[in-house]
């Protein structure tokens, strides 16, 4: 049994050592996505043109999370009955509006 397990391990390691499964980089043959693209590429543009990025919003993720959690709380509040559901809906609406306020600010 040990001999069979040892021979299976050797057979599993042998192709990797022999380099039999090494992938050689080849040039693509036929149509490619790069050739199918239309417009300017970064290498085509000269150095004088610059891309202006959109302004970065440092806390946009937190604001969106507040809005999502607030809407989720409103849905849960709609499923809960009576006074407790109403309180959850009002709290969720306040949280969603707070997130929206900071997102739009």
Condensed to tens digits (0 to 9), the pLDDT of residues 36-75 reads 777 666 665 555 555 566 666 676 889 999 999 999 999 9
Instruction: State pTM to two decimals.
Output: 0.47
How far is Cα 13 from Cα 65, in angstroms, rounded to an integer?
Answer: 49
């Amino acid at each position: 049994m040990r001999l069979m397990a040892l021979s299976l391990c050797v057979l599993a390691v042998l192709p990797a050592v022999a380099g039999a499964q090494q992938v050689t980089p080849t040039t693509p043959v036929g149509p490619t996505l790069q050739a199918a693209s239309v417009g300017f590429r970064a290498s085509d543009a000269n150095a004088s043109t610059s891309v202006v990025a959109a302004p970065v919003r440092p806390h946009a993720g937190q604001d969106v999370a507040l809005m999502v959690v607030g809407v989720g709380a409103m849905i849960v509040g709609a499923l809960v009955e009576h006074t407790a559901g109403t309180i959850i809906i009002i709290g969720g609406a306040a949280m969603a509006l707070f997130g929206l306020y900071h997102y739009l600010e």
